[in-house]
Structure 1
Amino acid sequence: MSLTELFIIAVGLSMDAFAVAVCKGLAMGKMSWKNAGIVGLYFGGFQGAMPLIGYILGSRFSGTIESYDHWIAFVLLALIGGNMIKEAFDSSEETADPSLDVKTMTLMAVATSIDALAIGVTFAFLQVDIVPAVSFIGIVTFCLSAAGVKIGNVFGCRYQKKAEFAGGLILVLMGFKILLEHLGVLG
């Protein structure tokens, strides 16, 4: 997997965290870079840890399903991306709690990184070099989440749905790319 592909996946995965970070920024009266860093560490840390866990789980059985692993990667990415796109069109309003306590942040970080667990399983099938991949995903998510707090503090939640839609679309397209490469359609 190329660095460009990994970057695209990292951005796609981080869109949920970015959207929540934007709303966190909106809920903060006065934005501080310390708080943005805390949000970034939670989201980036979990976004990096979850694919590692998925990779470990996926590595245990990747050899037995090697002949159709590209279909599994495609289905996982399509489901995750499709769910993000569906959530982007969901009319119910979610508000972010401005609290940065451990319980709140851990629950939000886990909720926004569940999709990264499935990506880790996909990485096992594709035999991705996992340590640089999860580090890169964590760093990209940290940066986007910290920036999201600032953006939310300035602009508000009006871009949350667009960010979720973009992230979902990116993941679906990456799934198609993986499938088409393994089927020999793309070179």
Structure 2
Amino acid sequence: MDIQHIIGEILTLTIMAFALGLDAFSVSLGMGMVRLRLKQIFYIGLTIGAFHVVMPLLGMLIGRLLSARFGELATIAGGILLIGLGFHIIYSNLFGSEESKVAPSGLGLYLFAFSVSLDSFSVGLSLGIYGARTWATIVIFGLVSAFLTWSGLLLGRHAKKVLGTYGEVLGGSILIGFGLKLLFPI
């Protein structure tokens, strides 16, 4: 495996992590409009980052199992899953109802972290089928999502809610692009 391939894979994983972290960023923008202490912001970012490590790891483990058993069919399913997830994110942000806000502490924080990392499970499933590097994936996903969460919380006082919707639509579009790449490799 050459260095160019490794750099390409890391860049691809970073772009995917950014796409997946945009929902945490978007929701954090709104949450950041509530006055939070820096300690709370730090803890929220760590919690969401941890969920973005665990969820794709579980997905990758299951994806590898499926890949070993079903080969090319599993790759096609992974691509379709990414495309479907991307369209779901876009549709729910453009046409879905406004979600109720969850308090960023205690059980509410864990429910929030779970909800914004659930799509990481699906992507992890696809990446496991595809054969991505497990440790690189979970470290990049965790760091990027924590960073985007912190950024959203800190910028939330100054941002408009509309930016959150556009951010998630961009994230959904990126996932569709990666799904198409799986289905139609160049």
Normalised TM-score (structure 2): 0.90
Residue-pair matches, total: 179
1:128 to 125, 129, 132: 132
Describe how 1:44-123 pairs up with structure 2 within 5 A.
44-90=49-95, 92-97=97-102, 99-123=103-127
Amino acid at match of 2:118: I
Contact 1:36–1:147 at 8 Å: present in 2 too?
no
Q: In structure 1, the residue corresponding to 2:30 is in which secondary structure?
A: helix
Amino acid at match of 1:71: I
Contact 2:86–2:172 at 8 Å: present in 1 too?
yes
Contact 2:66–2:74 at 8 Å: present in 1 too?
no
Amino acid at match of 2:80: V
The CA distance in 2 between the partners of 1:138 and 1:68, in whole Å, is 29
Describe how 1:1-187 pairs up with structure 2 within 5 A.
2-26=9-33, 28-29=34-35, 31-90=36-95, 92-97=97-102, 99-181=103-185, 186=186
Normalised TM-score (structure 1): 0.89
The CA distance in 2 between the partners of 1:63 and 1:161, in whole Å, is 38
Shift of 1:57: 1.6
The CA distance in 1 between the partners of 2:26 and 2:109, in whole Å, is 14
Alignment CA distance shift 1:41-1:178 (3 Å): same
Contact 1:23–1:95 at 8 Å: present in 2 too?
no
Deviating 4+ runs (over 4 angstroms): none
Measured on the aligned residues, the alpha-carbon RMSD in Å equals: 1.5
Shift of 1:95: 4.7
Amino acid at match of 1:5: T
Percent identity between the two aligned chains: 25
